Chain A
Amino acid sequence: MTTSTTPTPRVDFGALPPASARQVIGLVAKRELQTRLKSKAFRIATLVSVLILVALAIIAKLVSGSSSSVVTVGVTPATTTLGQQLVAAAKTVDATVHTQTVPDDATGRAEVRSGKLDGLLVGDGNSVSVVVKTDVDSDMQSALQVLAGEVALNQQITSLGGNPATVGAAIAGAKVAVDPLEPPPAKPQSQQIALGIIAGILIYISLMMSGQLVAQGVVEEKSSRVVELLLATVRPWQLMAGKVLGIGLVGLTQVLIIGLSGVAVGFATGSLSIPASVAASTIVWLLAWFVLGFSAYALAFAAVGALVSRQEDVASTVTPVLMFLVIGYVLGVSILPSSPHSPFMAVLSMIPLFAPTMMPMRIAMTGVPAWQLAIALAGMIVVIPLLVWLSGRIYRNAVVRSGARVRLSDAWRPA
């Protein structure tokens, strides 16, 4: 400390205009935003989430890639026609077969032995006979089976005096007329189910993490007693609102980064082949439900956080609130993939407590009727102002009572 007594300039206090509520909330939110975005924990958590998504997409690609492997089959001049038929037959069993012409039988066998070819069609072209190194690949086996059937059929048709090409065209043109009595429920593709589960996980984790951040932030201010300094100049609801807003923006940023990078990686690796519009609407709804769900849950987390004074007590005080998040998520991921049209889930997903976790999953998996969406949204819009009032009151009364855990009944009355 300098011991000089240079007088510090005295600002005329009348010159300081009172900070407006919006300014105060903005300042509080900005501090939360800056502190969190700067923190290593936030950066690492986001990076790890993105890396996990990338890894998942790559693994999915590898797994699906190996099941539809590309098979290269050699053909001799005598079996060239058979080779063309094999390529067509492979398509009917979802396998990909390339052919490669070899000058003669012996060269082909040598290439099969060396592994350059997966198989070699041999013979005179009237029967299907293949040379392989050790074993026939299962996809090639199916394709060959279809090919052998076709060859046999064509020979029979020819021997009966018919034209195999005409028969083939007739078979290809035959269609079943289907006349449904009711429009079929949209059956989700496996990719949409996966997308729904990922949306569920993402919103659950981000709501849980941001909610806990709010509770921890409230307790941090309480345990460090900085709240006493703040409340001398800021109204409790402004402090709470700023905190919820700031941490909400942090969470939103995180969801956006993870969601977008997940979809980008999915499309880039080809493991995601749903229409881009479905992906876009999933992300938009995910963000919308995050905003609504976070607003509701963060307010509740702030109120219960204000009841305790030590970080160690945060886990126990947030448990009741957390339970609703967990229930919504667990029911969602365990029931929706197998029965996406369950009426039970439809009803639950319209209740404000569960809507934030369940709706994004339903939207991604099957889409949701507009009226159900409207009920869920209306519920949230009613519940959030109620929570603002309720949590605001609990927060205001509890946040200055340090020491032992404050009972809810005590928090109802002013300190």
Chain B
Amino acid sequence: MATALEFDKITKRYGRVVAVEDLTFDVPAGQIFGFVGSNGAGKTTTMRIALGVLAADAGEVRWNSRAIDLDTRRQIGYMPEERGLYPRMHVADQLVYLARLHGMSTAAAKRSVDIWTERLGVAERRDDDVQKLSLGNQQRVQLAAALVYDPAILVLDEPFSGLDPVAVDVMSGVLREKADQGVPVVFSSHQLDLVQRLCDRVGIVQRGRMVANGTVDELRSSGPEVLVVEAPDARPGWAAGIPGVTVRGQSGNRTHLELAPGVDDQSVLRAALATGPVHEFGRRRPSLTDLFRHIVSSDPANGHNGQSVSHPTPPFDDTTTAVAAHQGV
């Protein structure tokens, strides 16, 4: 693995609390890697370790097979989870300053700031203090701060949070463009539909461990299919008694079911027809959201739905999941 950003067995503990354990994944140049996990799963810690803000207890982050040092770090475009800008400094001054710190000449920095503020739609706010900008605009400036010195690697913590749909589109375009230029892009997000659409690879972290890692297609085909049944007259619990069938969610008239291996879906259809008309009956591949919810809910530390730990196949459990599954691309 030559041109790739590699995370090799990263471990970080705070006293007895394990923040990240044996976390291993890599992001080849030109790919977008989506980093997914619940709050506190260890995404931010991992990114901060890559940036040298935190020191790992064990493991190593490498770029082009060499451990990352300050010279490599200067080539990383970084967006911290919380905005990291001087509140009382002009947008342009601030961006030029950051670009200069990364080694750019003043002239090149100014040119680059002009280009990126234009591209990200904050050009007319260049001479305003950052604190005067709306949160969304601050976020755009923050992204500009990660891009002005033309980084060779992008590590972005929650770059999409707080952005309007247009900004999300522009941001997605920028990330794709950067990847096409050969930049490995790692970003974390809770907007899983976006991750599913944008990323080449996805890693799901749970309690400091990488529990799933692969292309979006690989991950989605690893999960069990969901049976979606729309039976408007059916009473709640109509499917509960069918052997080998687990109800995973209900959204409106649609019931989402999971079938144990070997169970005939036609028996489910017959049961549904017995309640009245059936408007929809179909199998769906799980979405990323489904997979993620499954992983979170099957974690004994999360309390609810504890019995599914021993479940052989990933179950699903709530209504939003079902909608996402239904809309699944």
Q: Are B166 and A230 interface neighbours, CB within 8 A?
A: no
Q: Are B97 and A1 interface neighbours, CB within 8 A?
A: no
In the assembled complex, A105 has its CB within 8 A of some CB on chain B: no
In the assembled complex, A234 has its CB within 8 A of some CB on chain B: yes
User: Which residues from B are CB-within-8-Å of A27?
Assistant: 97, 100-101
In the assembled complex, A235 has its CB within 8 A of some CB on chain B: yes
In the assembled complex, B228 has its CB within 8 A of some CB on chain A: no
In the assembled complex, A166 has its CB within 8 A of some CB on chain B: no
Q: In the bound complex, how far is the Cα of B116 from the Cα of A254, in angstroms?
A: 38
User: Which residues from A are CB-within-8-Å of B166?
Assistant: 1, 3
Which listed residue, A3, A224, A227, A233, touches B169 by the CB 8 Å rule?
A3
Q: Which of B45-53, B238-246, B250-258, B269-277 contacts the other chain?
A: B45-53
Q: Are A2 and B170 interface neighbours, CB within 8 A?
A: yes
Q: In the bound complex, how far is the Cα of B177 from the Cα of A7, in angstroms?
A: 7
In the assembled complex, A16 has its CB within 8 A of some CB on chain B: yes
Q: Are A232 and B52 interface neighbours, CB within 8 A?
A: yes
In the assembled complex, A35 has its CB within 8 A of some CB on chain B: yes
* B-facing residues in A187-229 (Cβ within 8 Å): 220-221, 224-229
User: Which residues from B are CB-within-8-Å of A227?
Assistant: 84
User: Which residues from A are CB-within-8-Å of B169?
Assistant: 1, 3
In the assembled complex, B66 has its CB within 8 A of some CB on chain A: no
Q: Which of A17-25, A63-71, A331-339, A371-379 contacts the other chain?
A: A17-25
In the assembled complex, B135 has its CB within 8 A of some CB on chain A: no
Q: In the bound complex, how far is the Cα of B100 from the Cα of A227, in angstroms?
A: 16
Q: Which of B20-28, B68-76, B192-200, B286-294 contacts the other chain?
A: B68-76
Nearest neighbor of B155 in chain A, beta-carbon distance: A232
Q: Are A234 and B167 interface neighbours, CB within 8 A?
A: no
Nearest neighbor of B82 in chain A, beta-carbon distance: A225
In the assembled complex, B181 has its CB within 8 A of some CB on chain A: yes
In the assembled complex, A8 has its CB within 8 A of some CB on chain B: yes
Which listed residue, B51, B102, B103, B119, touches A8 by the CB 8 Å rule?
B119
Which listed residue, A11, A35, A224, touches B83 by the CB 8 Å rule?
A224
Q: In the bound complex, how far is the Cα of B12 from the Cα of A52, in angstroms?
A: 56
Task: Count how many chain A residues have C-beta atoms less than 8 Å from C-beta atoms of the other chain.
Answer: 37
Q: Are B84 and A414 interface neighbours, CB within 8 A?
A: no
* A-facing residues in B22-71 (Cβ within 8 Å): 48, 51-55, 70-71
User: Which residues from B are CB-within-8-Å of A6?
Assistant: 119
* A-facing residues in B80-117 (Cβ within 8 Å): 80, 82-89, 97-98, 100-104, 108, 112, 115-116
In the assembled complex, A231 has its CB within 8 A of some CB on chain B: yes
User: Which residues from B are CB-within-8-Å of A230?
Assistant: 101
Q: In the bound complex, how far is the Cα of B146 from the Cα of A229, in angstroms?
A: 9
Q: Are A226 and B84 interface neighbours, CB within 8 A?
A: yes
Which listed residue, B80, B116, B140, touches A229 by the CB 8 Å rule?
B80
Nearest neighbor of A31 in chain B, beta-carbon distance: B97
User: Which residues from B are CB-within-8-Å of A11?
Assistant: 108, 112, 150
Q: In the bound complex, how far is the Cα of B145 from the Cα of A2, in angstroms?
A: 18
Which listed residue, A3, A9, A19, touches B115 by the CB 8 Å rule?
A9
User: Which residues from A are CB-within-8-Å of B140?
Assistant: 1
Q: Contacts A2-B118, A11-B108, A24-B101 known; A228 to B177 CB distance under 8 Å?
A: no
Q: In the bound complex, how far is the Cα of B112 from the Cα of A319, in angstroms?
A: 44
Q: Are A18 and B116 interface neighbours, CB within 8 A?
A: no
Q: Contacts A1-B166, A235-B70 known; A224 to B103 CB distance under 8 Å?
A: no
User: Which residues from B are CB-within-8-Å of A226?
Assistant: 84-86
Q: Are A224 and B84 interface neighbours, CB within 8 A?
A: yes
Q: Are A231 and B120 interface neighbours, CB within 8 A?
A: no
Q: Are A5 and B177 interface neighbours, CB within 8 A?
A: yes
Sample 28 A-B pairs with CB under 8 A, ordered by A number: A1-B120, A1-B167, A2-B118, A3-B173, A7-B177, A8-B116, A8-B147, A9-B115, A10-B150, A13-B152, A16-B103, A16-B149, A16-B150, A17-B103, A35-B89, A224-B83, A224-B84, A225-B80, A228-B48, A228-B51, A229-B98, A231-B51, A232-B52, A232-B78, A233-B101, A233-B102, A234-B101, A415-B53
Interface residues of A (CB under 8 A from B): 1-3, 5-11, 13, 16-19, 24, 27-28, 31, 35, 220-221, 224-235, 400, 414-415
User: Besides A5-B177, A8-B115, A11-B112, 7 other CB < 8 A contacts?
Assistant: A1-B166, A19-B74, A220-B86, A225-B83, A226-B84, A228-B51, A230-B101
